[in-house]
Amino acid sequence: MNRNHFIKTTAAGIIGVSMSSWTHRDYKNLKDTVIGHGSHRYKIDLNWGALNPNYFPVKDAHEMVQDRAGRIYLLTNHTQNNVLIYQTDGKLVGSWGHEYPGAHGLSIHDENGTEFLYICDNMRHEVIKTTLDGKPIQVFPVPMISEKYSQASQYIPTESCVAPNGDLYVADGYGEQYILHYNAKGELLHVFGGKGTEKHQFLNAHGICIDQRQGNPSLLITERQGNSLKRFDLSGNYISETKLEGAFICRPVIHNTEVYLATIWSGDGASNSGFVSILDAENKMISAPGGIAPKYRSDGTLEKMRQGIRVFKHPHDVCVDRDENLYVCQWNAGQSYPIKLVRV
């Protein structure tokens, strides 16, 4: 493996102009705009993290996580630098990675005081565990042993998460829609889900996370094409479902009692759309930055969501920092850098 160079960047010359599809006029009109609803409202910063694309290009800015030291890791499928590491003020402090052409999912886990990253690469058809500076530690290959796959191309992992006991769960969101459950040694323990319309099945199991808000940990799994957030226990048994009509949600990100979800498309079918969905402890949508105000019918179901203001173009992930600011990275958005939403 061609491993990284961890780059300390101090020269002002590396900071350049954002590749965002927004024009200067668009940015000028939006920079003081506040979006969101209720208690979760944000001021837009479209120029956060903008770099010189000749040195630090992005292709699709897929996902972001924050480490214990406060640094933010952006995963992109551009192999000049697969991972860009930022401070919360947008300053670049490091970069690495040239061997992940299908870099898609990024999760972080603290293992006895040491943090590790998990990268889902949907072109390599693997999940790779690395150190924070990019050293590969463990590879979870195509799970042929599961007997669910006849060839590697059928397995296209999109996201992973780690349970409190160290077990790894992988969502095959662009493949056969199974959830693969491993122990920390990499031994496959269980497979559940699969493509279909039954409650325990998925149409695009795009994202997965561990939810410990109610005490006992469970799995939250997004069914993006179904506008649905499904809950399973750690043994893979279906528990419940939350329908979010019109919200094509990516992975769930839990911060305090809320769930944050980048919403890659608008429910009205508009192109180049999207917003952020924020759910409370009961998984009720309380704010939709960039979207219309969430409204619930008398029967408790959510009215169909859509984009309300043109801020985002295919949001793919949201990272929540310690000050509850949001960082939104985007897919197929003109190779743009993340947008920061400052909590107000």
Q: What is the pLDDT of residues 325-340, one digit of tens each?
A: 999 999 999 999 999 9
- CB atoms under 10 Å from CB of 32, counted, come to 8
Residue 54 lies inside a defined structural domain of this protein: yes
- CB neighbours (10 Å) of residue 342? 15
The answer to whether residue 277 sits within a structural domain is yes
For the chain, the domain total comes to 1
Domain span at residue 121?
A: 13-343
Could you tell me the pLDDT band of residue 270, with boundaries at 50, 70 and 90?
confident
Please say if the pLDDT value at position 29 is more than 90: no
Task: With cut-offs at 50, 70 and 90, classify the pLDDT of residue 269.
Answer: confident
Please indicate, yes or no, if residue 74 is contained in any of the structural domains.
Answer: yes
At 20 the pLDDT is 40
Report the side by side order of strands in the sheet with 275-279. 247-255, 258-266, 275-279, 285-287
Would you say residue 6 lies in a domain?
no
CB 208 within 8 A of CB 171: yes
- Distances from the Cα of 69 to the Cαs of 7, 73, 136, in angstroms? 17, 11, 21
Determine the pLDDT at residue 169.
98
Q: Is the pLDDT of residue 8 over 50?
A: no
- DSSP string for residues in 32-79: T-EEEETTEEEEEETTTT---TTTS--SSEEEEEE-TTS-EEEEES-T
Task: Determine, yes or no, domain membership for 4.
Answer: no
Q: What is the CATH number of the domain that holds 160?
A: 2.120.10.30
Confidence of residue 308 (pLDDT cuts 50, 70, 90): very high
Q: Is the confidence at residue 199, as pLDDT, over 50?
A: yes
Q: Is residue 5 in a domain?
A: no
At 114, is the pLDDT very low, low, confident or very high (cuts 50, 70, 90)?
A: very high
Is residue 244 a part of any domain in this protein? yes
| pLDDT at residue 16 greater than cutoff 90 | no
Confidence of residue 201 (pLDDT cuts 50, 70, 90): very high
Higher-confidence position of 7 and 119: 119
Q: Beta strand pairing status for 40-45 and 34-37?
A: antiparallel
